[in-house]
A and B are shown apart, each in its own frame.
Chain A
Amino acid sequence: MNKYSIGEFEEVVMLTVAVLYENAYGISIKEEIESRLERKVSVGAMRTALNRLEKKGYLDSEFGEATAVRGGKRKRYFKVTPLGKKVLQQVMETRKQLWDSIPSVAFDFKFG
């Protein structure tokens, strides 16, 4: 098995953080995932995932600016660390290898 284990939701979160690049904070990540994947994400689930990923060293975070709608609280911006990138790449590669290994007849569905 791979030494970097990562769940599907975690992968989605990390990819989204990467997509958003400099604008990846709690709400924007949540909304991005919700709009792209058309699924509901709770603040709690997402925050736990972000937290976990940061602890593993795949994400890094720093405080940004505070705004009035946030009740004067600062945003925490996330970005993917080099380690994170490596993990994502590895996941992607694993998948790719798997795709490549599928015999062509396997998906040759005949209807009728």
Chain B
Amino acid sequence: MSENIQISPPKLPTRFLKWFCNPLLIEDLEGDLSELFVERANKNHFKAKLKYILDVLLLFRPGIIRSFDIKNRLINTSMLRNYLKSSIRNLLKYKSFSSINIFSLTIGMAACMVIFLFIRDEKSFDAFHEKNMYRLCEIQSFPGTNTQKVALSMPGMGPTMTDQFPEIERYTRFWSWGSQVIRRDDKSLIAERVVGVDSTFFEMFNFNLIHGDRREVIGGPLDAVISKDIALRLFDNIDVVGERFDVDDNEYVVRGVMENVPKNSHLQFDIALSVFASGNEVEAFNNRFGSNFLNTYLILNKEADIEALTDKFPAYLSRAMDNPDINEIYKLFLQPLPEVHLASMDIEHDYNNYRKFNGQYLDVFVLVGIFILIIASVNFTNLTTARASYRSKEVGVRKTIGAMRRQLFNQFIFESVLLALIALVFAIILVTVSLPFLNNLIDRQLSIFPFLMDIEFIPIAIGITLILGIIAGLYPSLYLSSFKPIVVLKGLKNQEKKSIFRSSLIVLQFSLALGMIVCTLIVVEQLFYIKNKDIGFSKDHIVLIEMNGEMQESFNEMKEELLNQSNILGVTASGQRLGNNFHQWGFKVRQDTGMLNLTPSNVHVDYDYLDVYGIELKEGRTFSKEFATDDGLAFIINESFAKELGFDKPVGEKAGHGWYPNDSLGTIIGVTEDFNFNSLHYKVNTLSMVVHTAWGYSEMSVKINGKNVEAALNEIENIYSKFVTDYPLQYEFLDDHFNELYKSDQQMGSVITIIAVLSIFIGCMGLFGLASISIQRRIKEIGIRKVMGASLQELMILLSKGFATMIFISFVIASPVTYVFMSGWLENFAYRIDINPFLFLIGGAVALLIALATISFHVIKAVRANPVSSLRYE
């Protein structure tokens, strides 16, 4: 055996030889070489190989190298040129059909491109940080409140877990401190987003540091990293490492300057200080358990098994909190970083999650993009097939001259690919032109330009276009190339049987379009419902003003002056803003059997909170300054909580915060109707409200006269500047804040609406073309019928009947699917509309009307034509 292997010459050079060698010379040359090789190999195998290679290389010379057959290629390109020429002639000859085809493909592709850009943008969130990062979250099941997923954790968790679990490599905490006034010499400005983080933060999150070493920027409690923007505003310079600034009474040193945090980061901040800037002792803070008020991020090592790790959490937690029953309340889980942005819709108290988006909607977008492409390709397939008779002569002649079916097939595929490529060019132009408008609508900064430069995007786009062209052209090409030359050249019309294939494509098209119309109607109705549902308090014309130190001190005087203004109807304040879940903490009531401990949502408010917000009382009374005990010892609960407590008459029962001693409890003084203080995605939680004047409020709510907003804002501005000197007025409208809660849903709604409109539009273009062809074909029939005395009405019904039937079938197919799909979507809302069957009828009627209106152009033209012109030649 080894002999055999030895005497065969090396393969690669032989292959090279075969490739370049003139085929006339190859046989004996190869033989000669192999003979030589065998002879040499008997002396020295290795040398023989080398010589063989050398010989082959020396053969690579003129006289031996084959002529690379240019002739064959010339034939190919000239054939292609012929295809191109006949395609272009056809495109120009039937302008309306070409433009319908190209235009619908253009719209379909443009829609897909925008969807692609949108998804790329959403997926780019947090992509630049360390891998293997997780956010520590909790599932809380407090007694007396809904079970909820929460993004917050306790300060002790990060450090102790990292100590105890080898899988966890490092942690950082992220503690949001809201806006702060920062000062330097005589300059002061507001940094809106100041946060506290651990020293590891910048090593885990790769925010771009312009100056400073990411391992050292947050070393001590007075170290700070500021954004470029803040640096420019405060120092007029970005190279400011070592400079100092003040917040409250502390002086901080700038250790790092970072690029402004990009928009595609779920964490947003302008200044990062150490968590210990809060004045907490390191040792105590790192072992602090009990309340959840910050975010914890963990990096696991690569081998870590998430499930196994999560299984160890309960034992850890009862150890850490020294409470064996703690796991009945808390269940810890790890959320992978990529999911924070796209899969946090069911997570509450998620304060540091900028622009969080419902990731399921991305799948919906992909689906919708595919749908619109299908609708566009169906147009192409249908119109080309229906127009087959226009090109039957061409096929006949080509076949007679000797074209094979395969060649004709290739020609037609070539044509449809060409069309798709033209559409691609138009689509890119269309996207470029319409993006600014779309960005405005969906609040994004999408741009196609980076992708046009992208080496990957262009081949992908062209590849998809080719595939699209081939799929759309497949059936017409098969069909067209199947014509028999004798039949078509003799002028015999192909047996014009009704094409089931074409009809079912139309049904498919209209099912999709109709489904999307109904979806749009349902989404719009649900969003309208959310916007206008009676949520139990008035959220309109409420101006929210954040309360800083100066405002806290002068709150009462300021309130008094504001109330004296003509356009201000009410002023109150609270510790938390409506529209989120309120923080939950312990609440106890005395029952016959003993103390009952529960954990409802809590908010502390000003005395007139219920009046200003128009929250209805069911029983009891509201807070009043006349009762001294109302400051801290009087509670107003909501109906859900009252039910949870189980008293017949809750008013007058003894109750208090969880930390109140049992012998100094307050009283429940009132019960309100349930109102939706949280977003309508969630059910109303149990709630307790209390007045604590000493705690200070975080936000002032000013109810203004809706008829005179401008004047009211001026009044607020004037009074504000009287009391607050170094903090410019910043306000927000409550209803804006509420709109923000449903932004993800609203954007989904916009996208679906646009796509639905586009798809019905494309579908109708196709229908328009088809109607023109099918009516053209029946023009003689119409002529005869007319001569025989058919009325215009009868003819119109005759011509529209077929299309109407198809729309009806689409309706029957689309409705149940849409119903199931939309019921699923509505599950996202705790408060939702029932799907109204009437909407389906509206959708169906709209589709039918649009379709009939579309074809009516051709129908009326055909029906009104003089029969003489169509029958003359018969």
Contact = CB atoms under 8 A, between A and B. Distances in A.
A43 B63 contact: no
Given A48-B63, A67-B35, 10 more contacts: A43-B29, A43-B55, A44-B58, A48-B62, A51-B63, A69-B38, A70-B31, A70-B35, A73-B28, A74-B27
11 contacts: A43-B33, A43-B59, A44-B60, A45-B58, A47-B32, A51-B25, A51-B64, A70-B31, A70-B32, A71-B31, A73-B28
A85 to B, nearest CB: 23
B8 interface: yes
Contacts of A73: 27-28, 30-31, 34
B32 A25 contact: yes
Interface in B639-666: none
Interface of B is mostly: helix
A26 B7 contact: no
Nearest to A29: B32
Interface of A: 25-27, 30, 42-45, 47-48, 51-52, 63, 66-67, 69-71, 73-76
A26 B29 contact: yes
Nearest to A42: B58
Contacts of B31: 26, 66, 70-71, 73-75
A94 B32 CA distance: 35
Contacts of A26: 28-29, 31-32
Interface in B136-189: none
Contacts of B8: 71
Interface residues of B, number: 24
B58 A27 contact: no
A27 B35 CA distance: 8
Contacts of A43: 29, 32-33, 36, 55, 58-59
B193 interface: no
Interface string B26-57: 01111111111011000000000000000100
A49 B32 CA distance: 15
Which of B27, B28, B32, B61 has its CB near the most chain A CB atoms (within 10 A)? B28
B9 interface: yes
Contacts of A69: 7, 34-35, 38-39
Interface in B6-35: 7-9, 25, 27-35
B283 to A, nearest CB: 84
A48 B61 contact: yes
A49 B55 CA distance: 15
A42 B57 CA distance: 11
Contacts of A48: 61-64
Interface in B396-412: none
Nearest to A72: B31
A74 B27 CA distance: 7
A37 B328 CA distance: 102
Contacts of A47: 25, 29, 32, 59, 64
B32 A71 contact: no
A26 B29 CA distance: 8
A26 B64 CA distance: 14
A63 B867 CA distance: 80
Given A66-B31, A71-B9, A27 B36 contact: yes
Contacts of B36: 27, 43
Contacts of B33: 43
Q: 10 smallest A-B Cβ distances: which pairs?
A: A73-B31, A76-B28, A70-B31, A26-B32, A44-B58, A44-B59, A71-B34, A48-B63, A69-B38, A43-B55
Given A43-B55, A73-B27, A74-B27, A27 B61 contact: no
B29 to A, nearest CB: 6
Contacts of B38: 69
A27 B30 contact: no
Contacts of A67: 35
B17 to A, nearest CB: 11
Contacts of A74: 27-28, 31
Nearest to B63: A48
Contacts of B27: 63, 73-74, 76
Given A44-B64, A47-B59, A25 B28 contact: yes
A83 B33 CA distance: 29
A34 to B, nearest CB: 12
A56 to B, nearest CB: 12
Which of A42, A44, A48, A66 has its CB near the most chain B CB atoms (within 10 A)? A44
Contacts of B64: 44, 47-48, 51
Contact of A27 (B9, B25, B32): B32
A73 B35 CA distance: 10
B6 to A, nearest CB: 12
A72 B268 CA distance: 76
A27 B61 CA distance: 19
Contacts of A30: 32
Nearest to B9: A71
B42 to A, nearest CB: 10
Contacts of B58: 42-45
Nearest to A46: B32
B774 to A, nearest CB: 65
A48 B29 CA distance: 11
Interface in B556-589: none
B247 to A, nearest CB: 84
Contacts of B63: 48, 51-52
A75 B28 contact: yes
A22 B753 CA distance: 89
Nearest to B27: A73
B92 to A, nearest CB: 52
A25 B29 CA distance: 10
Contacts of A51: 25, 63-64
A78 B33 CA distance: 17
Contacts of B62: 48
Nearest to A49: B63
Contacts of A45: 58
A27 B40 CA distance: 12
A50 to B, nearest CB: 9
Contacts of A25: 28, 32
Nearest to A51: B63
A45 to B, nearest CB: 7
A109 B242 CA distance: 99
